Amino acid sequence: MGNHEAWTTVDVAPNILFDRLSDLDHLPEYIPWLTSLHRTAETPVTAQGPEARRPHQAVHEDVDVTVGGGHRDGWIDVLDEDRVLRWGMDGPHRYGGELIVDFVADGTSKLTVRLHTTETTNVDEELDRTLATIKTAVEHDQPTESSEGEQR
């Protein structure tokens, strides 16, 4: 299984960036190859907040994912305190990975994606494209200083 890693900086605070990326209902908006993602079970009680689980315990979600027109079963673990999203899927090119959001400076994050896959074609290019898509989407979705102070 091949291991791949790529990272970029994003001009958004780490907590905001992670909140956006860990919102599974909107995750396909940020991942270019992900057509849809649907939970296959009720949202677990542990997803209600950190007080409902042990420290650094992941919220585990079983999901049905549409990638390139095909459905696959998978899972996603969200570790809020660590700002880590881990996932895995079965299929002909079984793979898993993790997305990590780290603090760089006020209003800036480092976004790292690690991927473990049997696929060998264009993996690094797809990682770079995914990071660029996330960076663009999240940075352009931020209110500007002039719009924050405007009265409506």
Confidence category of residue 151, pLDDT binned at 50, 70, 90: very low
Task: Establish if 151 belongs to a structural domain.
Answer: no
Q: What backbone torsions phi and psi does residue 29 show, to the nearest 5 degrees?
A: -70, -20
Q: How far apart are CA 132 and CA 67, in angstroms?
A: 19
71 is in which domain, residue-wise?
2-142
Residue 48, both tokens:
């209600």
Go through the chain and tell me how many residues it has: 152
Assess if residue 152 is contained within a domain. no
The Cβ of residue 26 has, within 10 Å, a number of other Cβ atoms equal to 12
- The conformation of residue 30, written as its DSSP 8-state character, comes to T
| Domain CATH number, residue 115 | 3.30.530.20
pLDDT digits (tens, 9 = 90+) for 10-65: 999 999 999 999 998 888 888 877 888 888 888 766 666 666 667 777 888 889 88
Q: Is residue 150 part of a domain?
A: no
Task: State how far the Cα of 39 lies from the Cα of 136, in Å rounded to an integer.
Answer: 26
- Total domains in the chain come to 1
Q: How confident is the model over 105-150, as pLDDT tens digits?
A: 999 999 999 988 887 778 889 899 999 999 999 998 865 544 444 4
pLDDT of 149: 47
Report if residue 109 sits inside a domain: yes
> 150 near 20, Cβ under 8 Å?
no
Q: Which of 89, 115, 113, 87 is nearest to 102 (CA)?
A: 113
